[in-house]
Amino acid sequence: MALKITDACINCDVCEPECPNQAISAGVEIYVIDPKRCTECVGHFDKPQCVEVCPVDCIPLDFAEPREQLQAKYEGLLAAGIARPGKP
């Protein structure tokens, strides 16, 4: 996973429903991203939706993951019924 929610998170709840892979959930103190489910919205959108809606910009790029790897992760989540079908 290349995205990470920092401790600047204000727990506003806007990112969680935007995630098409159900990768974001409430953690002990702040929201967290499940690295096994985060595809940076590859397969769904051109940009990560959590980053787009975050009012405090607390979801930076943590490290680069190859697009092919993110696409394969998306396809696995889709096959498992976890990810919502993305754009054609």
Domains parsed from the chain with CATH numbers: 16-79 (3.30.70.20)
Under DSSP, the state recorded for 61 is: B
Q: pLDDT tens across 44-69, in order? A: 999 999 999 999 999 998 888 999 99
3-state secondary structure of 54: coil
Q: Rg of the chain's alpha carbons, rounded to an integer?
A: 12
pLDDT along the chain (88 residues), means of 10: 91 96 96 94 95 97 90 94 77
